[in-house]
Chain A
Amino acid sequence: MKIEGKQRLWDEYQKDIADDHYYFARSCIRQNFFPGSEIAFLKILRDYLHKDVYDDSHQTTCTGIAYHSALIPFETTRAVVARQFSLMNQAGYKNFVPSCVTSFGVYSEVIETWKNFPDALDQSRQQLREATSREFSFPENIAHTSDIIYKYRQEIAAQAKYKLTDKNTGEPLKVVEHIGCHYAKMFPQKGIGGAEFPYVLTGMIESWGGKIIDYPERRHCCGFGFRNYIIKENRGYCLSNSKIKFDSMEPYKPDFIVANCPGCTYFLDRWQYVIAEMTGKTYGNDGYGIPVLTYEEMAGLVLGMDPWDLGMQLHQVSVEPLLDKMRIEYDPSKKHSGYLNEDIGKPGKPENLRI
C-alpha cells in the first residue's frame, strides 16, 4: 500500500476531542473498584492541565451493565441517556466525557440509533418528558476520559517527574495495553486508531518513554461478559478468557498492563490472584503478578503523584515491583494508613500470590 493510502486510512480513525469545558460522567465500576482513578482524572485536568471539568451530583448509572445483561430494555437505556444529556444541557456544557468504556459504547450506540431511527429519537424525547418533564439536546462532542488524557499526553510528558523506563537497565518498560471492547469494536470511527490498531493507550505509553508489547491475543476480550460475570456459576467464562491473554503475553515479560476500561482493569488484576490461588501459577517475577494500572494511575505516576494517594493499595496484584523499577519514591509504611494516618490493619496474605 502507498504511504498516501495508509495516511488516508489512519485519518479515518482520528477523532475530534474538545479542548476544554468537559461534562464528566462517572462510572459505576470505576468509582467502586478504582476510586482514586476518577479523582486523579479530575486532579490532572484541573491542577496540571488547567481545564474546566464539571462533576454533576445528579447523574445516575447509564444502565450499561444491566442493558448488556439483557435486563433493561433498550428504550430504558435510551431515556436514561437522554436524561444525562439533559443534565449536561442544564449545567451549560456541550462536551460529554464518560469515564466508563461500557458507558462510552452505550452513549455512542444510543446516538447512532437516534440518527438511524428518527422514530426512536421521538420516542425517547416523549418518554423522558413523560417521566421527568425534561428536554434534551445532543452533546457537540463525546470523548472517553482516556481520549482526553491521550490528547494532552505531550503536556503531561512536559511535566513528567518519572519516565516509563526501567532505571536499573535504562531500557523502556515493556507494556501490555488493553483496550475495552466497547471503546472501538462497536464503532471503530469513534476510537483513536479504530478497532484493529487503537492508539489511545499506545500514544500515552510511547510519549512517556515506554514500549508496547504486541502479543497474539492483544485484542481478545478480557472476558467480562456482563451476565457471565454477574452470575457466579458463569464466571469460568471470564476467568478463562483472561487466562488466554495472560498465557499469550507471558513470554514477552511485560513490566505492567494498562487498560482503559474499568472492568478490564479489575478482571486482569483479580483473575491473576485467582489463578495463583487455584493453580500456584504467577505471571510476574518471584511470585508476584503483573501489575495492572488504569491510565490515570500511569499518568499519575509519571507526574510524580504518590501511589497511595492514587489508590494503588486497592489492587490485589502488588504494584511495588513496578514502582521499584521506575525508582519512584514512596513510603511503604503509608500504604495501609487510614485518613488520619491511623492504623487500619492490613489485608490478609494470599497463599500463593506474593504481595
Chain B
Amino acid sequence: MSLVELLKKDFRFQEGLNACINCGTCTAICPAARFYNYDPRIIVDTVQRGNEDDILALLESDTIWFCGECLSCKTRCPRNNTPGYIVQSLRNLSQELGYFTKSEKGRQQLDVKRIVGETMIKYGYCVFLDDIDLDGHPEQGPVWQWYRDNAGSILKRLGANYKGDGSGTMRKISDEDLKELQRIFEVTGATKRFEDIEKYCNGESIPKPDEV
C-alpha cells in the first residue's frame, strides 16, 4: 500500500484535506511558523500533490513535529482544510512505520511517551503534582517548590482530596478505574504505540517504503 493510501485511511486526513488553493492563510496565522522554519502551506501542498518520495521525506523530517496543534488554521482556512489535522495524520503514520526516529524532533516522542504516557498509566491523569519538579520545570518558579513541599497542608486547606479515595480535586484514581483505562489502551492501540516508540528508538529496523 502506498503512503498516500495509508494516509487516506486516517479520519484526520480525510477531514483535513479538501482542495488547497495555496493561499498561505494557515502559514500567516500559525504560531509555529512565527518561530520555526516551518510552513504548513507547503505540507498541505506536498500531500495534495501525492508524490511518494516527498511524503516519505516529510515522514522522516523534523517538519511535521513543529505544529503546536492549536488548530488556529482550522478556523481561518477559506477552503475548509485543516493543516493541523493533516499533521496529526502524518505524525501517526511516521510513528506507525518508525520513520520518526530519522529526525531529532521525531525522536522526542520517546520522552513524550516516558513523561505523559507513563504518568497516565501510573496516575490516570496526564500530569500530576508529585512528578513535576523544578529540575524538569524551572519555569514553575519558587511558588511551585513551596506548593510541592507543603502539598498535603495546602491542598487540605483548599478543600481538595489529595491522593484520597472517592471524588474531589487531586483524588487518587482507583485500581479498578486504572485497569479500565489500561484495557482501553490495549484494545485501541495506545499500548502498541508505546511499545513501538520504545522498540524503534532502541534500533529495531524500520520497513523500507516498498515493504509498507
Interface of A toward B, CB cutoff 8 Å: 26, 28-29, 31-32, 35-36, 38-39, 55-61, 63-66, 68-76, 78-80, 83, 105, 113, 116-117, 120, 127-128, 130-132, 181-182, 184-186, 188, 195-196, 219-221, 223-228, 230-237, 239-241, 244, 270-271, 273-274, 309, 311, 313-316, 336-340, 342, 344-350
CB–CB B12/A74 < 8 A:
yes
Given A127-B184, A348-B146, A61 contacting B190 (CB threshold 8 A): no
Q: Please, could you name 18 A-B residue pairs with CB atoms under 8 Å apart, sorted by A?
A: A29-B126, A58-B174, A66-B116, A66-B126, A71-B117, A74-B11, A219-B72, A227-B112, A230-B111, A230-B112, A237-B36, A241-B35, A314-B143, A316-B143, A339-B153, A339-B157, A342-B153, A344-B150
Q: Number of contacting residues on B, CB 8 A?
A: 84
Q: Measured between alpha carbons, how far is A181 from B69 in the docked complex, in Å?
A: 9
Query: Which residues does chain A contribute within 8 Å of B126, judged by CB atoms?
Result: 28-29, 61, 63-66
CB–CB B167/A57 < 8 A:
yes
Given A55-B168, A61-B126, A65-B116, A227 contacting B186 (CB threshold 8 A): no
Query: Which residues does chain A contribute within 8 Å of B120, judged by CB atoms?
Result: 60-61, 63, 66
Q: Measured between alpha carbons, how far is A195 from B150 in the docked complex, in Å?
A: 40
**Distance (Å) between the CB of B66 and the closest chain A CB?**
8
CB–CB B32/A131 < 8 A:
no
Q: Measured between alpha carbons, how far is A130 from B188 in the docked complex, in Å?
A: 10
Q: Measured between alpha carbons, how far is A346 from B145 in the docked complex, in Å?
A: 10
Query: Which residues does chain B contribute within 8 Å of A60, judged by CB atoms?
Result: 120, 124-125, 173, 177-178, 180-181
Query: Which residues does chain B contribute within 8 Å of A224, judged by CB atoms?
Result: 68, 70
Q: Measured between alpha carbons, how far is A215 from B83 in the docked complex, in Å?
A: 27
Query: Which residues does chain A contribute within 8 Å of B11, judged by CB atoms?
Result: 74, 113, 117, 120
CB–CB A79/B187 < 8 A:
yes
CB–CB A338/B193 < 8 A:
no
Query: CB of B207 within 8 A of chain A?
Result: no
Query: Which residues does chain A contribute within 8 Å of B88, judged by CB atoms?
Result: 70, 74
Interface of chain B residues 32 through 74 with chain A (CB within 8 A):
32, 34-36, 65-72, 74
Going nearest first, the 4 A-B pairs with the smallest beta carbon separation are: A225-B68, A348-B142, A338-B153, A347-B146
Query: CB of B169 within 8 A of chain A?
Result: yes
With a 10 A CB-CB cut-off, give which of B31, B128, B159 has the most chain A CB atoms: B31
Query: Which residues does chain A contribute within 8 Å of B10, judged by CB atoms?
Result: 74
Query: Which residues does chain A contribute within 8 Å of B102, judged by CB atoms?
Result: none
Q: Measured between alpha carbons, how far is A131 from B186 in the docked complex, in Å?
A: 8
Query: CB of B201 within 8 A of chain A?
Result: no
Given A225-B68, A227-B108, A338 contacting B157 (CB threshold 8 A): yes
A314's nearest neighbour on chain B, judged by CB, is B147
Query: Which residues does chain A contribute within 8 Å of B117, judged by CB atoms?
Result: 66, 71-72
Q: Measured between alpha carbons, how far is A314 from B14 in the docked complex, in Å?
A: 43
Q: Measured between alpha carbons, how far is A68 from B160 in the docked complex, in Å?
A: 28
Q: A181-B70, A221-B70, A230-B111 are in contact. List 4 more A-B contacts (CB 8 A).
A: A28-B125, A76-B188, A313-B143, A348-B142
CB–CB B34/A241 < 8 A:
yes
CB–CB B116/A345 < 8 A:
no
Query: Which residues does chain A contribute within 8 Å of B139, judged by CB atoms?
Result: 235, 239, 270-271, 273-274
Given A311-B158, A347-B145, A231 contacting B15 (CB threshold 8 A): no
With a 10 A CB-CB cut-off, give which of B126, B140, B150, B171 has the most chain A CB atoms: B126
CB–CB B116/A273 < 8 A:
no
Q: Measured between alpha carbons, how far is A309 from B157 in the docked complex, in Å?
A: 7
**Distance (Å) between the CB of B146 and the closest chain A CB?**
4
Q: Measured between alpha carbons, how far is A231 from B125 in the docked complex, in Å?
A: 18
Query: Which residues does chain B contribute within 8 Å of A342, judged by CB atoms?
Result: 153
With a 10 A CB-CB cut-off, give which of B74, B128, B184 has the most chain A CB atoms: B184
Proximity string of chain B (68-82) to chain A, C-beta cutoff 8 Å, 1 when within and 0 when not? 111110110000000
CB–CB A70/B109 < 8 A:
yes
Instruction: Please pick, from B67, B69, B145, B189, the residue contacting A75 in the complex, using a CB distance under 8 A.
Output: B189
Proximity string of chain B (107-125) to chain A, C-beta cutoff 8 Å, 1 when within and 0 when not? 0110111011100100011
Q: Measured between alpha carbons, how far is A2 from B171 in the docked complex, in Å?
A: 53
Q: Measured between alpha carbons, how far is A176 from B207 in the docked complex, in Å?
A: 51
Query: Which residues does chain A contribute within 8 Å of B212, judged by CB atoms?
Result: none
CB–CB B150/A273 < 8 A:
no
Query: CB of B4 within 8 A of chain A?
Result: no
B146's nearest neighbour on chain A, judged by CB, is A347
Query: Which residues does chain A contribute within 8 Å of B153, judged by CB atoms?
Result: 338-340, 342, 344
**Distance (Å) between the CB of A219 and the closest chain B CB?**
8
Q: Measured between alpha carbons, how far is A240 from B35 in the docked complex, in Å?
A: 8
Query: CB of B141 within 8 A of chain A?
Result: yes
CB–CB B150/A338 < 8 A:
yes
Query: CB of B129 within 8 A of chain A?
Result: yes
Query: Which residues does chain A contribute within 8 Å of B169, judged by CB atoms?
Result: 26, 31, 35, 38-39
Q: Measured between alpha carbons, how far is A346 from B183 in the docked complex, in Å?
A: 43
A66's nearest neighbour on chain B, judged by CB, is B116
Query: CB of B20 within 8 A of chain A?
Result: no
